[in-house]
């Protein structure tokens, strides 16, 4: 009787798990899931601003409701594989089921041909008006104002941890687009 129950349960769990509809398949799976046996290459990710240190979210990085600019931090992404076409950065509040895994928004940038290093320019929060070459892949999921674009850290409760999960996208074989490399950077805590 246990076996007859477990198999349908496993199918149900597998059917319910998957990326959000606006996210490319596999864009935010763990590296082991997307790469099979071989782990994905890791890109280096660091801040291109003295205001961001990865420990405490700077005042300028907070959402507009908390007096910040609501802009994404400028990131330097290095070690980009040959053939990469785009970068997707998922901004998350870790430990919050609604705001983890890109819940603060997923922003995309088109890479210059042959780029091995790329600096993401700051993107304004809560808008779809973005600099050339940038787009909103998925809007934030917070219940704060309109659910449009990226939402900077906006939750002043003690201990909230914010991260940016970087995925470098490009051809992964047989003409398909997928994750070629990944990296993570801590944006800081409240």
What's the pLDDT tens digit per position in 22-41? 444 445 544 444 445 458 99
Residue 82: the pLDDT is 95
User: Which position has the higher pLDDT, 175 or 124?
Assistant: 124
Q: Which domains does the chain have, with CATH numbers?
A: 24-189 (3.90.280)
Neighbouring C-alpha atoms within 13 Å toward the C-beta of 179: 28
Which residues lie across from 107 on neighbouring strands?
Answer: 89, 136
Sign of the C-alpha dihedral computed for residues 27, 31, 34 and 40 taken in this order: positive
Which residues lie across from 4 on neighbouring strands?
Answer: none
pTM for this one? 0.78
What's the pLDDT tens digit per position in 53-79? 999 999 889 988 888 888 999 999 999
Place of tokens 């687009």: 177
Sign of the C-alpha dihedral computed for residues 48, 31, 24 and 186 taken in this order: negative
Nearest to 137 by CA among 116, 110, 155: 110
Residues belonging to the chain: 190
């Amino acid at each position: 009787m246990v076996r007859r129950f477990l198999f349908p349960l496993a199918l149900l769990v597998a059917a319910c798990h998957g990326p959000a509809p606006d996210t490319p398949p596999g864009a935010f799976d763990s590296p082991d899931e997307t790469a099979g046996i071989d782990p994905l290459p890791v890109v280096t990710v660091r801040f291109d601003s003295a205001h961001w240190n990865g420990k405490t979210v700077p005042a300028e990085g907070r959402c507009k409701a908390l007096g910040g600019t609501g802009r994404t931090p400028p990131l330097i992404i290095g070690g980009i594989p040959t053939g990469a076409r785009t970068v997707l950065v998922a901004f998350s509040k870790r430990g919050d089921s609604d705001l983890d895994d890109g819940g603060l928004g997923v922003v995309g940038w088109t890479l210059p041909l042959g780029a091995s290093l790329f600096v993401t320019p700051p993107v304004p929060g809560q808008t779809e008006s973005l600099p050339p070459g940038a787009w909103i892949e998925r809007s934030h999921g917070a219940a704060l104002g309109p659910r449009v674009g990226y939402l900077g850290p906006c939750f002043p409760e003690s201990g909230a941890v914010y991260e940016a999960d970087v995925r470098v996208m490009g051809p992964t074989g047989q003409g398909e687009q997928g994750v070629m490399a990944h990296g993570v950077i801590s944006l800081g805590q409240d």
